[in-house]
Amino acid sequence: MGLFGKKMDQKMADANAQAAAAMAAAQQQMGAMPGMDTPGMGGQDMAAMAAYSQKVNKIGQSGIEAPGVIHVIRVTGTPDISGATMTEFDVSIRPEGGDMYEATVEQSMLPFQMEGLSEGQAVVVKYDPDNPTAAILHSW
């Protein structure tokens, strides 16, 4: 490798070191800000968001519809950038030809989606056939 290659290697190493220092400074600054203690935009846990998205996509594609009843509604998060808030619903699900069972549905809900939802209300859920307690509210 000639002189030009060594200079480029050094420039790349310097650029990588500067980028690493900038990332460390940004992470340190974010840790000092309220609500910014988890990685991701607006303090949102990006890994949890990805897992939730994967679960919802799977249920949306291969989930099985069943009647359900909401027993308890709990808001568990704060609004994200879209205005949606994570909410838990304790529900009873009665699959066709099966026994009723209890599940907790964790779902991101926009304010207009919460309108008209109440405890004791009948809903339609979609559940994962591979993991029946993994479910989403499908219609109400």
Share of the chain above pLDDT 90, in %: 58
All residues at 6 or more sequence positions from 135 whose CB lies less than 8 Å from its CB, including other chains: 59, 63, 68, 91, 93, 103, 105, 125, 126, 127, 128
pLDDT at 34: 46
| Nearest Cα to Cα of residue 83 among 46, 109, 122, 119 | 109
| Pairing, β 101-109 against β 85-93 | antiparallel
Collapsing DSSP states into helix, strand and coil, what is residue 74?
strand
Radius of gyration for the alpha carbons in the chain, expressed in angstroms and rounded: 23
pLDDT at 38: 44
pLDDT at 43: 55
Q: Where are the domains of the chain?
A: 3-37, 43-139
Collapsing DSSP states into helix, strand and coil, what is residue 94?
coil
Are 97 and 67 in contact, with CB atoms under 8 Å apart? Answer: no
The domain 43-139 having CATH identifier 2.40.50: the answer here is yes
pLDDT at 133: 94
Q: What is the pTM assigned to this prediction?
A: 0.67
Collapsing DSSP states into helix, strand and coil, what is residue 103?
strand
pLDDT at 61: 94
pLDDT at 49: 83
Model pLDDT for residues 25-53, shown as the tens digit of each residue: 555 555 544 444 444 445 567 888 898 99
pLDDT at 45: 76
All residues at 6 or more sequence positions from 50 whose CB lies less than 8 Å from its CB, including other chains: none
pLDDT at 8: 47
- Residues of the chain with pLDDT below 70 are 1-44
